[in-house]
Amino acid sequence: MTQINRRTLLKGAATLPAAAALTGVASPTLAAGHTATPGAALYSAPLGRYRITALLDGIAPLGRGFFFGSEAIDPLMEQIGIGPDALPAPVSAFLLQSDERTILIDAGMGEQELLGPGFGGLIPGLAAAGVTPDDVDMVVLTHAHPDHLGGLIRGSDAVFKNAELALGEVEAGFWTDEAMMAQAPDEAKGMFQLAQTVLGAYGDRVTRIADGAEAAPGLSMMLSPGHTPGHSIVRIDGGDRQLLMIADTLASADVHTALPDVGFGFDSDPAQAAESRRRVFDMVSADKTLVAGSHIHFPGFGRILADGEAYRYVPTTWM
The pTM of this model reads: 0.89
Q: 313: which DSSP letter? A: E
Question: Mean pLDDT across the stretch 119-137?
Answer: 96
Q: Which of 10, 20, 227 is nearest to 115 (CA)?
A: 20
162: Cβ–Cβ under 8 A, 6 or more apart, which residues? 134, 135, 136, 137
Residue 295 has pLDDT above 60, yes or no: yes
Residue-wise pLDDT tens digits, 222-269:
999 999 999 999 999 999 899 999 999 999 999 999 999 999 999 999
Cα–Cα–Cα angle for 304, 223, 297, rounded to 5 degrees: 35
Question: Do 148 and 106 contact (CB within 8 A), yes or no?
Answer: yes
pLDDT of residue 26: 30
15: Cβ–Cβ under 8 A, 6 or more apart, which residues? none
Q: Please name every residue paired with 310 in a beta bridge, in sequence order, or none if there are none.
A: 307
pLDDT of residue 253: 93
Which own/partner pairs from 181-184 qualify as long-range (CB within 8 Å, at least 24 positions apart)? 183/6, 183/7, 184/7, 184/8, 184/9
Question: Do 319 and 44 contact (CB within 8 A), yes or no?
Answer: no
Q: Please name every residue paired with 305 in a beta bridge, in sequence order, or none if there are none.
A: 312
In angstroms, the CA 182 to CA 175 distance is 11
DSSP codes, 248-277? GG-S-TTHHHHSTT-EETT-SSHHHHHHHH
Question: What's the chain's average pLDDT?
Answer: 87
Per-domain residue ranges of the chain: 35-315
Domain made up of 35-315: CATH architecture: 4-Layer Sandwich (3.60)
In angstroms, the CA 171 to CA 186 distance is 20
pLDDT band at 85; cut points 50, 70, 90: low
Residue 2 has pLDDT above 70, yes or no: no
pLDDT of residue 23: 24
Residue 91 has pLDDT above 90, yes or no: yes
Question: Do 234 and 216 contact (CB within 8 A), yes or no?
Answer: no
In angstroms, the CA 9 to CA 61 distance is 19
Share of the chain above pLDDT 90, in %: 75
Half-sphere exposure of 274 (CA within 13 A, CB side): 17
Q: Which of 269, 188, 262 is nearest to 6 (CA)?
A: 269
Question: Do 93 and 122 contact (CB within 8 A), yes or no?
Answer: yes
